Amino acid sequence: MKSTSLLHRLFTPGLAALGLAGASMIAGCPGPTPGPGGTEDFATATGLITDDEGGQDKNFAGPGTFAAATMVRSHVIAEDGRLEAFAEGDVDIDGRYVVDVPELADHVVIQALDDDFNVLGAAVIELTGEVDERVTVTPLTIESSVEAAVLVSMIDQGHDRALANIADLRARIDRDLALEVKGRADADEDAGRARVAALARAVLAAQDAEVSAYSDAGLAVDQGVLFGLEAPVSTTLSYALDDGEDPAAAYAAFYAAGRDAIAEAGLAADDQARAESQAAAAFRAQLTADVGVDPAFVHSGSVTAAALEARALTAGMSTLFIEAGADADAVNDAALAGTDLQAAVAQAGDDEDVAAAFEAYRTSFTSRSDMDDTILGDVLSLDPVTLGFVTDAVDAAVDASAALHADIDEVIGENTGETEVDAMVIADGVTSAYDDFETTIGEQATVLSALGDDTGFVLDVMVLAHGAFPPSTDAL
């Protein structure tokens, strides 16, 4: 029977343009029974099929999925991106399912099917349990379905399966971005496939830039190691969403716990913020070079990346002020500036609004015209001489930021028009631009030497504030 499900076709062989070639060798026909091959060495997974969009602010699934789904099928993603079917399970009247999965396996995909074996939606399991152990899967939504498609596409496009960090991917694709994918796919299947493949490359660029930044900060890891650190955090998020917890609170806990996990591995929140600025810039640059002809889609991805960056900046800047011994009022002011930034990004109607939000955040800490009336200025208690030095350093930081984003814009321009923009080329270009930016900021140490022990603190604040989202979309 010919499938009428778009997601079914996205997970069906022959869709190499999407990066999901061979994704379901058995889509459209009956599959295996639980416990394939006669073995009983398997774990189980349970989850909920919904009509929802997703829990992260703003599915291939969506309305009608709950009523149409009659079974689920578990798969393991092979090294070449194919989905290897493992078992099937029934769906009860409440949308709850239980299905067998391989023991202690990662990168497992659960698909919801209708009576004609059309794929309606999907979700990813970070790590299954031991034999007879049951894990809980994130609710199957539009958002979870897009995440699953992007994950498979990353691996199909040649990315090492072991380095495909599901936890990081979940943070980079939110409800709004998933809805943009679904909207394109509903209107034009080819456009939907292209957007999934482009998102996969954008996530790859972000993850590669993040790893480079971590290495520069002294934490030499790859995304496989980071996945090991972050997978338990992602699993906790799945349990919370399945249990019906408030999505906003569940995701806030997810982000905070992720930062804590990386901090325990040896990377402080301020260094994580630097890395996230680079990752966000690589994500934006990749999407702009890849699908710049679709500005609404690029904007949605840009806002998603900016929201992650804003959260990281809030935590990183607060850490800097606490470690510098700033008083409680200054620490509170730094945190409030971050809260305001996150709220403004969430309400942004376009990239200019996002840029304005970050510019307001920057100028709350540093100013070319009135440094005394900033959060940083209050902490430093500047006299006329040191005020002049700091103002000169701020001037240099503003110029360095302009150069940084001009360099990134050049990377975008050099790669726009390519059939498939190489994510590693974008990531390397962004990382190189940030290296030059931080070098320039570091050169202000001589100018600021009169500040004594506060010199490093001021430089760190300038790196975070001026290395964030560009002051205007002209630099994108």
Res. 340: pLDDT tops 70: yes
d(CA 17, CA 15): 5
Name the token pair of 244.
């019906």
- Alpha-carbon distance 359 to 341, whole Å? 9
pLDDT tens-place string over residues 179-217 = 999 888 888 888 888 899 999 999 999 999 999 999 999
Average pLDDT, the chain: 87
Q: Which of 52, 358, 240 is nearest to 255 (CA)?
A: 240
Whether 36 has a pLDDT exceeding 50, the answer reads: no
pTM value?
0.89
Give helix 189-216 / helix 295-323 axis angle, nearest 10°: 20
pLDDT of residue 40: 58
- The tens digit of pLDDT for each residue in 117-141 reads 888 899 999 999 999 899 999 999 9
Four-CA torsion 23, 293, 421, 79, nearest 10 degrees: -10
> CA 51, 57, 63: angle at the middle one, nearest 5?
15
Which residue did the predictor score with more confidence, 39 or 151?
Answer: 151
pLDDT in tens, 292-316: 778 889 999 999 999 999 999 999 9
Q: Are 234 and 331 in contact (CB under 8 A)?
A: no
Whether pLDDT at 457 is above 80: yes
Residue count of the chain: 476
- Do the beta carbons of residue 277 and residue 430 sit within 8 Å? no
pLDDT of residue 50: 79
**Rounded-to-10 torsion of CA 38, 40, 45, 49:** 30
- Among 100, 107, 104, smallest CA distance to 78 is for 107
pLDDT of amino acid 290:
87
Q: What is the pLDDT of residue 52?
A: 63
Side chain identity, residue 387: L
320 Cβ contact list (under 8 Å, min separation 6): 270, 334, 457, 460, 461, 464
Q: Which of 152, 139, 157 is nearest to 62 (CA)?
A: 139
Average pLDDT for 166-178: 94
Q: Report which of 401, 403, 374 is spatially closest to residue 390, judged by C-alpha positions.
A: 374
pLDDT at position 472: 64
CB 174, CB 87: distance < 8 Å: no
Is residue 232 pLDDT above 50, yes or no? yes
- Of residues 13 and 142, the one with the higher pLDDT is 142
H or E stretch at 48: strand 42-48
| Confidence check: pLDDT of 73 > 70 | yes
